[in-house]
Structure 1
Amino acid sequence: MPRFAANLSMLYPELDFLDRFEAAAKDGFAAVEYLFPYAYEARELASRLAANGLKQVLFNGPPGDWERGERGLACLPGREAEFRDGILKAIDYAAALDCPRIHVMAGLVPEGVERETVQPTYLENLRWAAVEAAKAGRDVLIEPINTRDIPRFFLNRQDHAHELVEAVGALNVQVQMDLYHCQIVEGDVAMKIRKYLPTGRVGHFQIAGVPDRNEPDIGELNHPYLFEVIDEVSAQCGWQGWVGCEYRPRRGAVADGTSAGLGWLRGLPRAARG
C-alpha cells in the first residue's frame, strides 16, 4: 500500500498549526506536508518534526500575496526577481527541514491574457528553479489544479504538465499528481496513473474525496482501487514516493475530528502511514 503523508494545512484544523505535528504522529503518520512553512522559523519546524519522528516530504514555494488571491508567480511576466527570491528562500527551508520536494505554484493567468502568452515566462522560471534546486539536491514539482477551485490557474491538465516537464528537460522537475484535481478536470484517473507513473516524472500524489474535498472514502472516486493501481504500477517501475492526504475533514474543526475520519486508512489492507 502507498505511504501516506498528513497534510497539516488541512488536517487537524481544531489545533494550532504547530500542535498538528504531534497529532499526526499519534495517528500513525510518519510524514507530513503542508502549504507553506514561512510563518515559522525553520528550526522550530525541524524541532517539531524531530520530536515526533516525522519526515517532511513536501511544501510549496512562496505564492506571492496569498491573502490578495495570488497563487504563485511562475507564469507572471515582470515578477521574475520576486519569484527567484522566493525559490531561494524555499530551498533554504527545504535544506533545514530535509525536505526533498518543493512545489512551485504556477500562478493565475492575468485577465485578458492567453495562456500561451505567459508560458515562455513560466518555462524560463521553471528552468532557473530547477538549476538552483539541483544544486541543493531538491526536486521541483508542478501541479495541475482544477479551475473550479482556482479559476484561471495556469496549469490544469496532466498532459500539459508532462509536456512542460519534457520542455524543461531537467531530471529534478516532476509532476505533483493530485487525483482530486485530475478527476474534476479530466477523469479516467486510473488510466492516467498507468500512463504517467512509469515515466519517472510523477514525484508525488495527493488525494481527497470528489467533489467536496473531504475524506477519500466519501465521493465518486474508488480510492482503494486507485491505491491498488499505484501499488501495481509502482512494483513495475520502482516508484517509492508519498501520497499526501490533502483533504478537509468532514467533521470540521472539532476535537478528534480528523482522527475519527481516518477509518478509510485504518481499513486498508497493509495500510502504510510511513
Structure 2
Amino acid sequence: MPRFAANLSMLFRELPVLERPAAARDAGFAGVEILFPYDEPGHLIRQALDRAGLPLILINTPPPNWTGGDRGFAAIPGGEERFRHDFRRALRYAQVLGARHIHVMAGVAGGLEARDTFIRNLAWAAATAPEQPLTIEPINTHDMPGYFLDDFDLAAEVLDTVGAPNLALQFDAYHAHRITGDVMGTWAAHGHRAAHVQVAGYPGRHEPAGGEIDYPAFFARLDSDGYAGFVSGEYAPEGRTGDGIGWIT
C-alpha cells in the first residue's frame, strides 16, 4: 500500500487547525498537506507538525483563501508581479514548515497567451527555487470553472516545455475521473511524471471508497509502478473524519 497523507484543510475540520496534525497521526496517516497555511503563523504550524512527528507534504500557492478567492495567478497575463510576490511568500512558508512540494496554481485564464504566461512563470519559479520541488495539477472545470490547467495532455506539454528537474505533475484521481473518465488510463499515460497523488471518491468528493473509482486497483497500480510519493486524502468527509478512514488500511 502507498504512504497516505491527510489534507488538513479538508479533514479533521471538527478540530482547531493546530490540533489536526496530531489527530492525523493518531488516525494512522504518515504525513499531511495544508492547502493554504497562511492564516496561521508558520512557526506555530511547524511546532504542531513536530509534536505530531509528521512531515508536511504539500502547500499551495498563492495565499488567497480556497473558499472563494482567486485560484492562482501563474497563467494570468499581466499578473506576473502578483504571481512572483505570492510565490516568494509561499516559498518562505515552505521553508519554515519543511513542505516537500509547492503546488503552483494556474488560475482562471485561457488561450495561447495564458499558456505562454504559465510557462514563463513556472520557469522563473523553478529557477528561483531550484531546491524546492514544485507541482502543477490539472483541475476539472466543473469544480473550478475556467481554470486554465484543465487537461493532462496540456500539463505534459507544459512540463516538457519548462523542462525543470524540480517541476512535476500532481495527479489527483478525482480530477482525472472528472476530466477523462478513465483514472487508470490517465495514470498509465502520465503517472511517470507524478511526484504527488491525491484522492477522493466520486460522486460527492467524499471518502475514496466505493463509488465509480476503483481505488484498491489504483493503489495496487501505484505499488506495481513503484510510485514512491505520498497519496493524500483530499476530500470532504461525509461525517466525522475519524469515522471514514478505513480506506487507508
Relative to the length of structure 2, the TM-score reads 0.96
Contact 1:21 1:49 in 2 (8 A): yes
Match of 1:37 in 2: 37
Q: Percent identity at matched positions? A: 43
Aligned residue among 117, 142, 167 for 1:121: 117
Determine the C-alpha separation between the residues in 2 that align with 1:216 and 1:53: 25
* Higher alpha-carbon Rg: 1
Q: Is the 8 A contact 1:63 1:107 kept in 2?
A: no
Q: Is the 8 A contact 1:194 1:229 kept in 2?
A: no
Indicate the SS of the match to 1:72: coil
Contact kept, 8 Å, 1:139 with 1:173, in 2: the verdict is yes
Question: Following the alignment from structure 2 to structure 1, what is the Cα–Cα distance between the partners of residues 65 and 48?
Answer: 27
- 1:259 is matched with 242
Give the corresponding residue for 1:220: 212
Question: Are positions 1:97 and 2:97 aligned together?
Answer: yes
* Compared CA separation, residues 155 and 241, structure 1 to 2 (3 A): same
Distance, in Å, in 1 between the alignment partners of 2:51 and 2:27 is 15
Counterparts of 1:118 and 1:77 in 2: how far apart (Å)? 6
Contact kept, 8 Å, 2:104 with 2:135, in 1: the verdict is yes
8 Å contact kept, 1:34–1:60: yes
Structure 1 residue ranges, 4+ long, deviating more than 4 angstroms after superposition: 63-68
Per the TM alignment, residue 64 of structure 1 is displaced from its structure 2 partner at its CA by: 4.6
- Which of 179, 183, 186 aligns to 2:180? It is 186
Give the total of aligned pairs: 249
Do structure 1's residue 231 and structure 2's residue 191 form an aligned pair? no
**Structure 1 counterpart of 2:208, one-letter code:** P
Q: Quote the Cα distance in structure 1 between the aligned partners of 2:78 and 2:68.
A: 18
CA RMSD, Structure 1 to Structure 2 (Å): 1.4
Distance in 2, matches of 1:68 and 1:258, equals: 23
Q: Which moved more, 1:37-46 or 1:142-151?
A: 37-46
Q: Which runs of 5+ in 1 are unaligned?
A: 252-256, 267-274
Q: Do structure 1's residue 16 and structure 2's residue 16 form an aligned pair? A: yes
In structure 1, the partner of 2:85 is: 85
Q: Kindly tell me: are residues 68 and 241 of structure 1, through their superposed partners in 2, closer, same or farther at Cα, counting changes over 3 Å?
A: closer
For residue 195 of structure 1, report the CA deviation from its aligned partner: 2.4
Cα displacement (A) at 1:66? 5.2
Q: Which amino acid aligns with 1:123?
A: I
Equivalent in the alignment of 1:197: 191
1:242 aligns with 2:230: yes
1:204-259 residue CA offsets vs partner (Å, 9 max, x unmatched): 0000001210001131111001000111111xxxx3111110000011xxxxx111
Structure 1 counterpart of 2:22, which letter?
A: E
Counterpart contact for 2:36–2:66, Cα < 8 Å: no
CA distance in structure 2 between the partners assigned to 1:192 and 1:66 by the alignment? 26
For residue 242 of structure 2, what is the amino acid of its counterpart? S
- Counterpart of 1:158 in structure 2 is 152
Deviation at 1:63, TM superposition (A): 4.8
Greater shift, 121-130 or 65-74, is seen at: 65-74
